[in-house]
Homo-oligomer: A and B are copies of this chain.
Amino acid sequence: MSNQQACGTSQIAGCRFSVHPMTDDFVNVILGALEEVDTSKVWMETDDVSTCVRGRISHIFDVTNAIFVHAAKTGKHVAFSGTFSIGCPGDTEGDVYLAEDDVRLNEDVTKTIEQPTACQFALYPMGDGDYMDVIYHQVQEIAKLGVDVSSVHYATRLDGEANDIFKGLEQVFTKTKESGCSHTVMTVSLSANSPSHKGGK
């Protein structure tokens, strides 16, 4: 159970996530989204419960952002649930992707897709590190991206454009890691096109 260990200083980030389109046509929505995303700079494996991507932080967020907006642009109610993490022991099959540069392969297309989105996330920094002030400050930074920030039990809520939300999540995750946490974990739930979103979004 490598995820349970006191973790090291691996620079490989990962995200295990699921995309759930609430439609009879869910298979095509998922496959269609995957087809439009360039995943060549990440290690990626999909099973019947979730997908795992691993590599540099920039590409983990680039790829998950792209998959979410491509699924959501169908107009179907789509949810994303995922756990981002960094600091667990890496392994050779994934570490090879750390050699990639930071040029994002999906950003040019993704940034053209407008998608109002609701998000709930929680950060779990483990180990030493002066992260409380960092997190507090970074959450304020998310608001500067034009995203509404509020609190719910166990989580912080973000409302705004999907691309801005992903940018904010990447910032707070990166800065928390840089503050000295040996193991940083962030859970993220996203929802688009829900009939119950505020304002009919």
Contacts and interface: CB of A to CB of B under 8 A. Distances in A.
B185 A124 contact: yes
A191 interface: yes
B49 A154 contact: no
Contact of A135 (B4, B24, B156): B4
B81 A18 contact: yes
A113 interface: no
Contact of A49 (B119, B125, B195): B119
* Copy count, this protein chain: 2
Interface in A1-56: 1-6, 14, 16, 18, 20-24, 26-27, 45, 47-50, 52, 54
A172 to B, nearest CB: 10
A1 B151 CA distance: 7
A184 B198 CA distance: 32
Nearest to A151: B1
A46 to B, nearest CB: 9
A6 B149 CA distance: 21
10 pairs of A and B residues whose beta carbons are closest in the complex: A81-B81, A20-B20, A22-B26, A48-B196, A49-B191, A52-B153, A48-B197, A3-B122, A24-B24, A16-B154
